[in-house]
Structure 1
């Protein structure tokens, strides 16, 4: 499995904030411009529902760009849980600058906390089994690093970051290469550039064929539970097994109990229902 380095994350945060501020602030905030630049304010961001908080590096970068003199005090750590209507962070600084930063900060928090929260729900469902919850490439364009970071905040693990860092051989790759053996042999020639080589199988016959040529990572695609259990028995630890396909909170526990090593869940990052945050101004710090 791949992971993002600190350098990759810092670069992604900067790029994400660049685009977000360009589309929201543009040439300047006309409404915030009505406020006296000398006016100071204390802004408190409140989370309106139970959630796993994620997005602090993005909030910090927005403030660095828009409100460089602002001071932020976080009451919930990154990856920490909050209750409904809990105060998450208090920010002191220029009222004008905080008003300009408000929506961009909240947008990152609502999206990334949603991913972290959903991931944590899936992780809780498989607790006590050996199965890890893994993400996919089904991410919002331009926010892949951010969403995969949020998956980690929620207790999940990352699959490949993109097409460039690992090999996942699927049915169409096998057909285009002229067969499974040919596809795997070609993959092994670029193994030094790939963090892993994985083959997707849909039948037990395909599973056996992959095991026979020494494939050590297999993706069981849309298999029914009984077939997955049989795949685990046949494999007998010779390869790492990942289950995938239409996984829900209701079905994930049964999948985990088959004995697979990982369960990949596209809904972690593609079906994002934003967490509800709001920012409120006051004239004194939160006590």
Structure 2
């Protein structure tokens, strides 16, 4: 009986996941040519609603700690840069300029920034102040994070977790795998599915972010100097094949390449050489 179930497992898993799975094109390719189809098992609306709720919780907590938008000049600066980038998002998806965008600055020593589904952005003062970012470098950071939202990378990662969970739980039930066995299978699934795609997400966000910055009149070459600064703060990072981010050398090559590709867009936007 167990052998019969084992032989039937691939077909059963495929049938289970096919019920909810769909492949979508979240964005147009733009000049940088990011046009990969993405497997989705949860709706964009669900992810956006959850993101909006989580974002409000983050803001509420920051407000309690007097860490929300404390420096008016920095807030104005960041929002001005963000608005220029947001104005170019329609190149990749027509609905994006009409999203309910929010841009806030959190006082923290952490070197971080993010953009949740639907355009909920936060940038940390530690990133701006400690790395002494120029406007072009802030645009590189924010363009990268906005690109994650445009590509719906959070939705895709959630979908892959759902798919992996289905596979692991069904396999465990059919094959009699215990708790430790399921944990091992989960780690194998994580390395197999999540790590390579996470590196892919970072590369896609780099490329789209560079194009957004160039179209908005920010020097796309600032992405290179930005990640040089970031790399100087991350000595001892794991090798690329164990990391969710591309190696510094790989990233630098790609950033340089794509910055040159979009230089004509930067010039058309009135940027300086």
State the TM-score bracket (shorter-chain normalisation): under 0.3
Which structure has greater strand proportion?
Answer: 1
Instruction: Return the structure number with greater helix share.
Output: 2
